Structures are given as structure tokens and as C-alpha cells.
Amino acid sequence: MTVSNVINDHPNVRETTREKVLKAMARLDYRVNVAARNLAKGRTGTIGLAVPELNSPYYSLLAAAIIGATERRGLRVSIEQAASRENELDALSLSRNRLYDGLILCAAGLGQADTERLRVDHPVVILGDRIFGGPVDHVAMPNLEASRAATRHLIERGCRRIAFLCGPVEEVDTSGLRLTGYRQALAEAGLPSDPALIQQVDRLGMRDGACRAREMADSGLDFDGVFCITDSLAMGVLRGLADTGIQAPDQVKVIGFDNVSESEFFIPSLSTVDPDHQGMAERAVDLLTRRIEQKKPAPDYEEFVGDFSLVIRESTGG
Amino acid sequence: MTVSNVINDHPNVRETTREKVLKAMARLDYRVNVAARNLAKGRTGTIGLAVPELNSPYYSLLAAAIIGATERRGLRVSIEQAASRENELDALSLSRNRLYDGLILCAAGLGQADTERLRVDHPVVILGDRIFGGPVDHVAMPNLEASRAATRHLIERGCRRIAFLCGPVEEVDTSGLRLTGYRQALAEAGLPSDPALIQQVDRLGMRDGACRAREMADSGLDFDGVFCITDSLAMGVLRGLADTGIQAPDQVKVIGFDNVSESEFFIPSLSTVDPDHQGMAERAVDLLTRRIEQKKPAPDYEEFVGDFSLVIRESTGG
DNA sequence: TTGTAAGCGTTATCAT
DNA sequence: ATGATAACGCTTACAA
């Protein structure tokens, strides 16, 4: 017991005793067994972070932000790639199995229909836009406002035929919410909303962005601006436009969403929505920590929407 | 005990008993306690992966490759950001503390001088180029050969004044090894090696690449090719060149190293060394698994060097 | 096929 | 200030 007290820096250990213990520990090359400690304490000091994919500028930025936020709180993060709805449920159960003290889940597979599966007796925070009003704390992007602002920016720069590039649109999700913001901005400016300009791709990466941009150009679609719901998509679009000889921003202006590190250096550099990643990460970790600390689960679920600003770069005229 | 047998799919449980147990588990909403299991088994089924930074195209690619390799083996990966030598030592001790069954360490802070600190009694695999001949298994990039090939490619495309852009050069590390390959290629082609062309930056990211490219251009340095030791650096260079009005590949050709996802879509698309990330990841996990499985530590340390190929794209003339 | 007993290495509680 | 004792929830070894 005294050894335990020394290890955990408890007071009430005589200095000479402490030294004796430390000396013995050094001599024996003693290491605490974290598994045993976790069992005895009922805590692991680790939270789980489940993201759909790691090799993505956005999710790696997000992971870095979360890690930054946890470091300041003396927590460890274990990152899991949960690439499917199935994987996400796995992550949930691992957390329930006391491997983690709590879980930050970036849902991509789970949807509004799975809301009830989140009703678990251990701390979970949802980060993202697929589940609203669930029985968990929730940190979301400022989808609507930011999309309006991005679209408005294109309009202000003179675009009249603005394409909207997104992923599969579901009832409630990033694509759907940002589409609403886009439509609102058009409506506010008195511009018609042409369904042909609404383009959906399967995956929100550069490849799909590039392919679709080429298809749009080749099909003769008339457009002078593109609002892409992720920067990856937007950089892909810039690439696709370049392939077809279309000049950005002169002929077509492009704006993205996320402000990933690469956007600043792309050629042309990418105008984009800059969400307050840091703030959202801090808040997610705060909410989770609060849940972990409180003994009794309380159904006062919080919904936090992050801040954003617009970053104007070359792709919309600088 | 019978419950344990059911949970672990052991044979020798009567079907009716199994069902009774499963039913009871469902009724009680029972969950195994992973912490307790870890303690009893002395294994966690989790390996640690320590990388210097997460928000980097290269390391996120690597992390994804490692995760892919472990999934097939029924292992879980816990990713840690170890951004300093200190952090790397932490990761080592966590593993020693039985939180992980083993550790894959991408050393960036630890160096050849720390070799002895790797002499630990639990499985570790080093992934990277900073420690050779240490008391651990080691998976490395084909630095020398690949750098020679990349430099040779620039020479074949007509470059005569090839700059080399790297990070701080130490005794043994990525920068140093690739520098050697670069010099060898120049020598083989009978080209002089001008020290002014060897450019070092602090961090291997796009920002430093862009800044340095602008400085090189502004200072009037004469160069017609750049071999960058990472793709991020190379994309930064392309950006920097664009800023100063230098055309790539017409006036200056650029080649990178890593073949990160972004390279294919950058404008101009980036020629680069494509290491066999998947193969290296598989091998690292294999080596680690072997160590975990064997009871007695054996000092037959393996050194595995991955494969590579060259991917020629627009930045060197397509 | 099922169940008993011991032990994994810590920490919490409570005496001393 | 120190230490004895009993958990923590599981698995292994072995007995029934």
C-alpha cells in the first residue's frame, strides 16, 4: 500500500520511506501494471476516438485537434478507424466494455435511425452531423450558416450558376444540411436553384471531386462557381477543371469547407470555410469529461454548434 | 466458468447450456470487462502505434496501412501522437506497462544515440530511418536506392542543377540517407555536387517547402530541378515556385518521396517515389506479432527494407 | 460438461 | 505514516 501511495504521489508518506521505495523500484526495474490499475480503479484514463478514415486531411486534422484538447487534461486518446456502421457499433461497445472511459464518435455510418443505439450507460459524445437530438451530447459544425456564407461569397464574386457538390444526401447529414444553406443563399439573392447543378458523389475525396468536375465540364453543364462540401472534394474539382482546360478562378470559382492544411498551398489556393476545429474539439472533450466525472447519468444532453469564418484565397479570386 | 467458456466460444459447452447463458447475458445486459480480462490474460490484444504527428499526409497514410495490416490479424491499434523524444519514451513505457502487447514506433525524436533505451523486455518494432542496428526489429524505407532513382530520373529529364531539399541532417536519418542517394546519382552521371543546392528546412511540411522555394528563387540560385525528401515538401515547393512565377515542370522539375494521396491531384501532379507502404506495414505487424507470440525474447533482430517504384507525373514532364 | 479455487497486480477501506 | 485485508472481474488449472 505504501508503494501505491508513493507511485501516486499521495501525501502522508515519510520522505525517507518514499526514497526507500523509489530506490527499490529502480533496483527492481519495477513498472506499474496498467491493466491491473484499470481494473482496480474502474477507470482507464483513456478515451476512444472513432473516425471513419484516418488517411483523410479532414479527419487527421480533427484527430490532432482532439489530441491537443485531451493532452491538457491528462487524458490519453486511442484512435480507432471505424469505417462502417458495424465498426462504429463496435467502438461503442468497446467503450461500454470499460476499455475507454468514454468515446468521441464521428458518425458516418450510423444515422438518425440508430439514435436509440446511443442510449448507453457510459459517456459518449457525437461529433458530426448525422445524428441530432439523440440521447447523447453532440458537437456539430455550423453547417447552415457556413454554407450560406460560402455560397453568398460566390454570388458576391459574380457567380450566377453555382454548382453544389456533395455526398449522398440523407434525411439529416452534412450533405443535406449544407444543401439547405446553399439553397437559402441562392433564394436570398433571388437566384434560381437548378437541380442540374446539384451534384452528388459517393465519397468526399479528391478522386471523386476530380472525376465529377471532368464529367460536368464534358457534359457541357453551364456553371461558373462550385461550392464543395469538403476541401478534398474542392481540390479534386480544381484538378478536374485543370484537366479540361477550364481556368479557376477566371472561368469557374471554387470554394470548399474545412480549411484543411493543404488548402493554403494548393494551386490555386483554396477559398474555404474555416470551422473552429480547435473550439469544437475542446468542447467535445469538455462534454465527455463532464460525463465521465459525474456519477449519475443525467439526461441533460447538450448540443454545441461550432464557430466558423470564411478564408478567401485564389480559387475565388483572392 | 461456464459463462467464460461461452463468451470465448470454447467447445465443450452443451448447446442448451450455451443458450441459457446467452439468454441470461442478454437479460442482464452483461458486458465483459476488458480491463479484467487483460489483467487475467496478461494480454490486451492491442498494439500501440506511435507517430510524430497525425495531421500529416504521410503519417496518416502510414497509420491507415498499419490498421489495415492489423485488422486481418484480429489486433486492435491504439494510435498515439508522440511529438517529441520525451513522448516517444512515454510510448515505450506505456507498452512496457502492459497497456499494449507491443509497440510500433515511428521514431522522429529518438536517434541513434538512444539505441540502448530500446533494449526493453517487450515487443517493439521501429519503423523509420533514425535508428539502425538497434536491439529491435526494424522496418526501413529503401532510402538510398529510391533517392538515387529519383535523382537519376531528374537527370534523365535533362536537369543539371538539381537542388536537394531535406530536413535537419543528422548522422543517420531520412535526410542523411537520402542525401547520400542523391549524391551517388549525381556522381554516377558525372555531375558536380554543389553545396549551395543542398537546402535544409526545419519541418518537412508544405509551409517550409513553399518558403524555401521562394527564398531559393529570390536569391537567384540557379537550379532546374528539385528532389524533395517528402511529398509535402515537394507540394510546398511547387506552391513556392508558382508564387515566384517559375513554371514547373518547364523551368524547374520537381520530384517528391512518399506518394501520398494528394500527390496525384496536385497541380501539377507530383512525380514521386512510391514506397511499398502496404508491404512495410504488413512486415512491421508481422515482426511485432512474432515477438508477441514467442515467449523468450531472442536477439535475432531483423532489418527489413521495403520496396519502391517511381511514379512519373506532370511535375517532371509527365 | 460443469464447477471450484487460485491468482492476475493494483487500489480502497480501515486499523494500527 | 504504515500496512492488513478485501475487492476489481476475469482466466487458468484442475477436480468433480
Residue A313 belongs to a domain: no
Cis peptide before B297 (omega within 30 of 0): no
Residue B314 belongs to a domain: no
Residue B313 belongs to a domain: no
Please state whether strand D lies within 7 Å of residue A195 at its CB atom: no
Residue B317 belongs to a domain: no
Instruction: Say which CATH number the domain at A159 has.
Output: 3.40.50.2300
Chain A closest-CA separation from residue B162 CA (Å): 23
The reply to whether B205 and B255 lie within a common domain is yes
Chain A closest-CA separation from residue B184 CA (Å): 32
Contacts 24+ apart (CB under 8 A), A91-97: A91/A48, A91/A50, A92/A117, A92/A118, A92/A120, A92/A124, A93/B31, A94/A48, A94/B34, A95/A48, A95/A120, A95/A122, A95/A123, A95/A124, A96/A120, A96/A121, A96/A122, A96/B31, A97/B31, A97/B32, A97/B33, A97/B34
The reply to whether B123 and B218 lie within a common domain is no
Chain B residue with Cα closest to A268: B267
Q: Which one of A44, A67, A262 has the shortest CB-CB distance to B262?
A: A262
Residue closest to sugar C1' of C2 by CA: B2
The reply to whether A73 and A156 lie within a common domain is no
Among all chains, which residue has been given the C-alpha cell 480503479? A41
Residue A312 belongs to a domain: no
Chains A, B: CB contacts within 8 A come to 125
Contact residues on chain A for B239, CB-CB shorter than 8 A: 265-267, 269
Domain count for chain A: 3
Contact residues on chain B for A46, CB-CB shorter than 8 A: 78
Residue A83 belongs to a domain: yes
Return the pLDDT at B263. Answer: 98
The reply to whether A91 and A208 lie within a common domain is no
A53: containing domain: 40-140+276-306
pLDDT in tens, chain A (318 residues): 899 999 999 988 999 999 999 999 999 989 999 999 999 999 999 999 999 999 999 999 999 999 999 988 989 888 888 989 999 998 888 888 888 999 999 988 888 889 999 988 889 999 998 888 899 999 999 999 999 999 999 999 999 999 999 999 887 889 999 999 999 999 999 999 999 999 999 999 999 999 999 999 999 999 999 999 999 999 999 999 999 999 999 999 999 999 999 999 999 999 999 999 999 999 999 999 999 988 777 888 999 999 999 999 999 998
Q: Mean pLDDT, chain B, as a whole number? A: 94
Chain A residue with Cα closest to B60: A55
The reply to whether A236 and A87 lie within a common domain is no
- Kindly report the bases of strand D lying within 7 A of a protein C-beta atom: 1-5, 7-13
Chain B residue with Cα closest to A87: B71
Report whether A165 contacts A201 (CB < 8 A). yes
Contact flag A61-B39 (C-beta cutoff 8 Å)? no
- Nearest-CA neighbor of B282 among B303, B300, B258, B306? B306
Return the pLDDT at A157. Answer: 97
The reply to whether A120 and A232 lie within a common domain is no
**Nearest 5°: CA angle at B286, between B41 and B6?**
35
pTM score, two decimals? 0.93
The reply to whether A192 and A47 lie within a common domain is no
Interchain CB contact of A303 with B (< 8 Å): no
Instruction: Flag whether pLDDT at B188 surpasses 90.
Output: yes
The reply to whether A240 and A168 lie within a common domain is yes
Chain B residue with Cα closest to A239: B265
Residue A221 belongs to a domain: yes
The reply to whether B60 and B11 lie within a common domain is no
The reply to whether A154 and A256 lie within a common domain is yes
Residue B128 belongs to a domain: yes
Please state whether strand D lies within 7 Å of residue B41 at its CB atom: yes
The reply to whether B149 and B122 lie within a common domain is no
Strands A137-140 and B46-51: unpaired
Contact flag B32-A63 (C-beta cutoff 8 Å)? no
Please state whether strand D lies within 7 Å of residue B26 at its CB atom: no
Return the pLDDT at A19. Answer: 94
The reply to whether A78 and A168 lie within a common domain is no
